[in-house]
Every structure is written in structure tokens, then in C-alpha cells.
Amino acid sequence: MSLIEVRGLKKSFGTLDVLQGIDLTVEKGERIAILGSSGCGKSVFLRSLMLLENPDAGKILIDGRDITAKGANVDEIRRSMGMVFQKFHLFSEMDVMDNLCLAPVHLKGMKREEAERKAMELLGQVGLVDRALAWPTKLSGGQQQRIAICRCLMMEPKVLLFDEPTSALDPTMVGEVLAVIRMLAKRDLSMLIVTHEMNFAREVASRVLFFADGGIYEQGTPAEIFDAPKREKTISFINKIKYFTYEITRRDFDLMQMQGGIQNFGEKYGLDQKHTYRLQICCEELIYELLDRCYPNRDDVDLKLTVTHAEADGTTKIDIDCGGAAYNPFEQAEEDVLSVTILKNMSKRLEYRWENDRNIIDIAL
């Protein structure tokens, strides 16, 4: 039995037909990213699954139970799902622990002591044990969103729904929330994620849906949607996200070739010369730092650079996937490592993680 079945889902607002007959089946363990331009119905679709928007037609079956059926126990069926919104919706008059324990105690009959133990376990997983008694107003946006995710997990849902979970965050906080969702993805939790973070969707999703014209315009694996979209509007949307990749297998790689590629990338997609130069400097300094620290005394290396530019918001990102020894360049003192000083001065966000014996670095300029 499928985890979610949607049949002929329709929703209009006055004369505006937002959803025009959506059919979708979600299996257990699937991680589905939902993409599309603003106003295409992504969030309306997600909210409809919880009946936060009442469909005009169609059926929605959650774990075999029709939440749209007359007389359905909507509140009970909803408990199979957890939803994380753009805004965090934490109760400001309660501290973090009370926010986490409220629903499982009152709705599931869990003992308070058991709920607190579970809450502390989840807070440990997202790095916020020390904020258990803090008030939401004293937390950063990224911390509040991590707490909101924990609150969903307290109810042990079968599927998590994320409605643009990073859109309300300062760019410096986006990485911490995406890191939590990546962690959940590794546990094979079922998820539907409305997002504008293209690299994140490519990395995490097992299936990608592109919404347009009131429905699922095109769908496929991340490789199919991002690398070989077939339909016109998908192609147009994906092509707004520009990529440049460069793989390094030898310490004595051709630096000029890489920098020339970045220069051509900048010229092709309209980056001004100052921005392109900053991009080149960041890549050069960081790559040499990683080669020295991750591959000491070795000529054969394994590093992949990806530069991404989004026309929609003008954001340029540098992603580096490097093997060898674990090394976080951002933990080094600025006075000891010149590249750290340069990167911190030039970047909006710096993120490092050690994953599957690889150094993963994400930088936003």
C-alpha cells in the first residue's frame, strides 16, 4: 500500500485554477523535491495534503485512509504527517521543551518524563541540547526552524512535509537547516520538500516534481530533471540555474584552465568582472588549502568543484567535494591561514561537513 495517493486533486481561488487535477503516488522512503516558479501551486498542493486547504475535487489517501472522505477523522489521519512551514509557528509563550512536549503528551497520551527524554534526544541530534529551556524569541531563525523540525519528529510521523523551510531565513542560517534535512534523508524518512535550493534538491531527492500549468508538468530522477529535462518550461526553469564543474585528479592540475573556465562561465552568464574575480580567488585559495591538508605528500587527488549561479536571486555558490583526510578550513585561525581570511571577507555563508569520508564545502558569495 502506498504511503500517499492523490487522485484528481483540484483547487481554485475564485477564477484562478491553481491545481487542475493532480495524480501522485508516494511510496514509503521516497524523498520528493517539488520545484516550480512562484505561484505555481507547490505550497497549495502541500497544504492540501493536510487539508489546510480544502480541495474542490479529488481524493487524498494517507496510508490507505481517505482524509477527504465525508466523516473522516481528519485530526487522527493528520498525525501520520508532520509539516514544517516557512514561518516556524513555535508557541512564543512556551519554552522549547514545552513546545516539543505539548502535542505528544496531549494528543498521544505520552508521559511527560518520556516526552522530555525523547525531546532531549532529538535536540541532541540537531545540536540544540543547550537551548531546551530557551524561549523561541531568544533563538535565531535557523535554531527556531530546527526546533520546528524536532516538534514534528516528536509525533513520529510517517511522512514529513517541508514548505520552503529555508525561505524565511537569513542566508547564513540556511545551511544549518538543510543539514538537518540531509540527516533525516539518510534515515530513509519519507519526505515531500517544496524548495528553491536546487543543489540541495539534486543531492537529497529520489524524485523531483516540476510544477507548472496547474499540475505536475514533468517528473523524474534528479539527473533526469536537472541534466536532461524534456519539456519546454522545465528546460527554461532549470536553465536559470547555471553550472560550471571542474574535476582535479592531480596536485599539479592546470590552474589556468580552471580559472579560464570560471572566466568564461562569468562572461556567458553576465557576472560582472569583480564578481567573477572574487569567484576565482575563492576557488583557488580554498582548493590549494584542501590539497595541502587533505592530501599531504600525495600527487594523486580527488576533488570536484561545482560553481552555481541562480539568475532568480543572483546568488553564486561554490561547492567542493574532496576526499583525503578530514579537514575543516573554517576552523583555522584567520591569522594562520590566509585563505580563511579571504573567504570570510568575501562570502555570505561558509559551511563544512564530513560526510561518507568526504570533505563537503558549501560557500555562498
Which range of residues forms the domain containing residue 246? 241-364
Q: Are residues 198 and 79 in the same domain?
A: yes
CA dihedral 220, 51, 84, 41 (to 10 degrees): 50
The total domain count for the chain is: 2
6-22 as b/e: b if 16+ CB within 10 A: bbebbbeeeeeebbeeb
Q: Are residues 168 and 251 in the same domain?
A: no
Starting at the edge strand found earlier in the chain, the sheet holding 349-355 runs 241-250, 300-310, 316-322, 358-364, 349-355
Per-residue pLDDT at 45:
96
Per-residue pLDDT at 336:
59
Q: Which residue from 251, 254, 247, 282 is spatially nearest to 266, judged by alpha carbons?
A: 282
Q: Are residues 207 and 284 in the same domain?
A: no
Per-residue pLDDT at 338:
63
Per-residue pLDDT at 238:
83
Q: Which of 180, 206, 238 is the last residue of a domain?
A: 238
Q: Are residues 48 and 152 in the same domain?
A: yes
pTM: 0.71
Local structure of residue 230 (DSSP, 8 states): -
**pLDDT tens digits, residue range 58-87?**
999 999 999 999 999 999 999 999 999 888
More confident residue, 47 or 199: 47
Q: Are residues 51 and 139 in the same domain?
A: yes
Q: Which of 196, 215, 238 is the last residue of a domain?
A: 238
Does position 203 have pLDDT exceeding 90, yes or no? no
Q: In the chain, what percentage of residues exceed pLDDT 90? A: 63
Q: Are residues 50 and 108 in the same domain?
A: yes
Task: Give the pLDDT band of residue 169 (cuts 50, 70, 90).
Answer: confident
Task: Give the pLDDT band of residue 312 (cuts 50, 70, 90).
Answer: low
Q: Are residues 359 and 227 in the same domain?
A: no
Residue 215 cell numbers, joined: 499540475
Q: Are residues 130 and 211 in the same domain?
A: yes
How buried is residue 153: exposed, middle or buried, by Cβ count under 10 Å (0-12/13-18/19+)?
buried
Starting at the edge strand found earlier in the chain, the sheet holding 81-84 runs 81-84, 159-163, 190-194, 31-36, 207-212, 215-220
Q: Which of 199, 217, 238 is the last residue of a domain?
A: 238
Strand extents, DSSP E, the chain: 4-13, 16-26, 31-36, 57-62, 65-66, 81-84, 159-163, 190-194, 207-212, 215-220, 241-250, 300-310, 316-322, 349-355, 358-364
Instruction: Assign residue 273 the CATH number of its domain.
Output: 3.30.565.10
Per-residue pLDDT at 339:
63
Q: Which of 19-23, 45-49, 157-161, 271-275 has the lowest mean pLDDT?
A: 271-275
Task: Give the pLDDT band of residue 278 (cuts 50, 70, 90).
Answer: confident
Residue 78 cell numbers, joined: 493528520
Distance between CA 42 and CA 40 in Å, rounded? 6
Q: What is the mean pLDDT of residues 344-350?
A: 78
Q: Are residues 209 and 92 in the same domain?
A: yes
Q: What is the 3-state secondary structure (H, E, C) of 232-253?
A: HHHHHHHCCEEEEEEEEEECCC
Q: Are residues 184 and 123 in the same domain?
A: yes
Instruction: Assign residue 88 the CATH number of its domain.
Output: 3.40.50.300
Q: Are residues 187 and 287 in the same domain?
A: no
Does position 218 have pLDDT exceeding 90, yes or no? yes
Q: Are residues 198 and 267 in the same domain?
A: no
Does position 267 have pLDDT exceeding 90, yes or no? no
